[in-house]
Amino acid sequence: MSEKLQKVLARAGKGSRREMEKLISEGRVSVDGKVAYLGDRIEGTEQVRVDGHAVKLKSADEDICRVLMYNKPEGEMSTRKDPEGRPTIFDRLPPLEGGRWVAVGRLDINTQGMLLFTTDGELANRLMHPSHNVEREYAVRVFGEVDDAMLQRLRNGVNLEDGPAKFQKIIYKGGEGRNHWYHVVLSEGRNREVRRLWESQEVQVSRLIRVRYGDMELNRRLPLGGWAELPLKDVNYYRRLVGLKPETQSKVKVDEKSIDNAKHRRIRRSVKKHQQRQTTARRRRK
């Protein structure tokens, strides 16, 4: 059976379907030597190139959907490469053969916490898209005077420069003086949306940590800069959440959510080695 070209390219790890549609529209994709067009379908036996580079195609049967949970530190860019040489969220991830990790959304350079990566561009696209209403929860420390009227405005909705926005939930978590912690929930991922919502009320955000995506919380034993691959049941939780068929295979040998002590130590050693390499690289550049 033939499939849409953008779907096949997304499965090959080249990006989300939306990104592939853009590449096709720009004339950057060819099939058997001819420029491809949106709406083209292929059998999977053709020679497909993106920007002149051959793409190794995968059939739906041989492709395994993988998902990583990453605990992003502050100071990392949500991009593959940074022209200023700053560290990126992709620097620490395990290498892939014939594919690439696709980030599920972004966190700005000053935000830390839970970030998901997957080999399935379609899964990433659906988890990000507001039509699926996937909740994101953040722990946020704000500086300034906060009253009930302000919180009600943030729940009801305020107008930002890119349209109305609001928090679905706001839960007070304590604080002292003018510093207070809240947990806030929303189901879209516009650029700096949490910060901009608070700033619309003249309140400054001093710390921001994503702690949940969907119903899955950030693993508390995962150190900053550490990643863990999700077992099959957790991968399928996210697939069902956005209406995709469940996966039947996994690269994770033991289907456990918890990180055992040995694996926890390995993650910490890996993070420490990466930090040492970054420090050495910065010294050489100086």
pLDDT for 188-233, tens place per residue?
A: 888 899 999 999 999 999 999 999 999 999 998 999 999 999 999 9
The percentage of the chain sitting over the pLDDT mark of 90, rounded to a whole number, equals: 63
Query: Does the pLDDT at position 255 exceed 60?
Result: no
122 and 139: one domain?
Answer: no
91 is an active site residue? no
172 and 112: one domain?
Answer: no
100 and 223: one domain?
Answer: yes
Q: Is residue 145 part of a domain?
A: yes
Q: Which of 189, 168, 75, 54 is nearest to 124 (CA)?
A: 189
Q: Is residue 60 part of a domain?
A: no
CATH number at residue 35: 3.10.290.10
63 falls in which pLDDT band (50, 70, 90)?
Answer: confident
pLDDT of residue 268: 61
220 and 117: one domain?
Answer: yes
Burial (CB count <10 Å: 0-12, 13-18, 19+), residue 284 = exposed
Q: 187 near 211, Cβ under 8 Å?
A: no
225 and 276: one domain?
Answer: yes
pLDDT of residue 241: 97
Sequence-ordered alpha helix ranges (H) in the chain: 5-11, 17-25, 121-128, 148-156, 193-199, 232-241, 261-285
Domain-ending residue, one of 213, 244, 276: 213
Domain span at residue 180?
A: 135-213
Domain-ending residue, one of 168, 189, 213: 213
Q: Is residue 61 part of a domain?
A: no
116 and 232: one domain?
Answer: yes
209 and 220: one domain?
Answer: no
CATH number at residue 225: 3.30.2350.10
Q: Mind listing the pLDDT tens digit for each residue in 227-248?
A: 999 999 999 999 999 999 999 8
118 and 249: one domain?
Answer: yes
Set 51, 63, 108, 162: catalytic member: 108
240 and 101: one domain?
Answer: yes
The total domain count for the chain is 3
Mean pLDDT of 47-59: 89
140 and 204: one domain?
Answer: yes
143 and 202: one domain?
Answer: yes
What pTM, to 2 d.p., does this model score?
0.78
